[in-house]
Amino acid sequence: MKFDRRLVIMITDLHGSKYINVDMIFKQLSAYVLVFILTLGLFIYASITIINKEIEETKNRNNYLLKEFADMQKHNQHLNKVVQEKDEEIALVGDKFETIESVIGVKKDDVGEETLLESDDFSLMERMDTTSISALQKSFIMKFIPNGKPLDIELRISGPYGKRYHPILKIYHIHTGIDMATPMNTPVYATADGVIDWASNSGNGGYGKLVKISHAFGFRTYYAHLNDIKVQRGEFVKKGQLVALSGSTGTSTGPHLHYEIRFLGQPIDPINFIQWDMQNFNSIFEKERRISWLSLLEIINNLMGRKQEQLQSSPQIQDSRGK
| Smaller CB separation from Zn ion, 224 or 304 | 224
Under rule CB under 5 A, residue 260 binds Zn ion: no
* 107-115, 243-251, 257-265, 281-289 -> range binding Zn ion (CB under 5 A): 257-265
| Smaller CB separation from Zn ion, 239 or 258 | 258
| Smaller CB separation from Zn ion, 212 or 258 | 258
**Closest distance between Zn ion and the C-beta of residue 68, in Å?**
59
| Smaller CB separation from Zn ion, 215 or 258 | 258
* 11-19, 147-155, 173-181, 188-196 -> range binding Zn ion (CB under 5 A): 173-181
Single out the residue of 214, 153, 148, 216 nearest to residue 181, CA to CA.
153
Estimate the crossing angle of helix 135-144 against helix 293-313, to 10 degrees: 120
Single out the residue of 197, 196, 168, 316 nearest to residue 256, CA to CA.
168
| Smaller CB separation from Zn ion, 70 or 100 | 100
Q: Which of 239, 258, 262, 289 is the binder for Zn ion (CB under 5 A)?
A: 258
**Closest distance between Zn ion and the C-beta of residue 156, in Å?**
14
Nearest residue to Zn ion, scored by beta-carbon proximity:
258
Give the rounded distance of the alpha carbon of 32 from its chain centre: 88
- Residue count at the site for Zn ion (CB under 5 A)? 2
| Smaller CB separation from Zn ion, 82 or 100 | 100
- Amino acid identity for residue 62 in this structure: N
* 42-50, 56-64, 179-187, 290-298 -> range binding Zn ion (CB under 5 A): 179-187
Single out the residue of 162, 172, 187, 323 nearest to residue 246, CA to CA.
187
**Closest distance between Zn ion and the C-beta of residue 246, in Å?**
12
Phi-psi region of 217 (alpha: psi -120 to 50; beta: other; left: phi over 0): left
Q: Which of 101, 121, 179, 193 is the binder for Zn ion (CB under 5 A)?
A: 179
* 44-52, 62-70, 215-223, 253-261 -> range binding Zn ion (CB under 5 A): 253-261
* 53-61, 175-183, 206-214, 279-287 -> range binding Zn ion (CB under 5 A): 175-183
**Closest distance between Zn ion and the C-beta of residue 134, in Å?**
37
134-153: contacts with Zn ion (CB under 5 A)? none
| Smaller CB separation from Zn ion, 112 or 206 | 206
Phi, then psi, of 129 in degrees rounded to 5: -85, 90
- Which residues make up the interface to Zn ion (CB under 5 A)? 179, 258
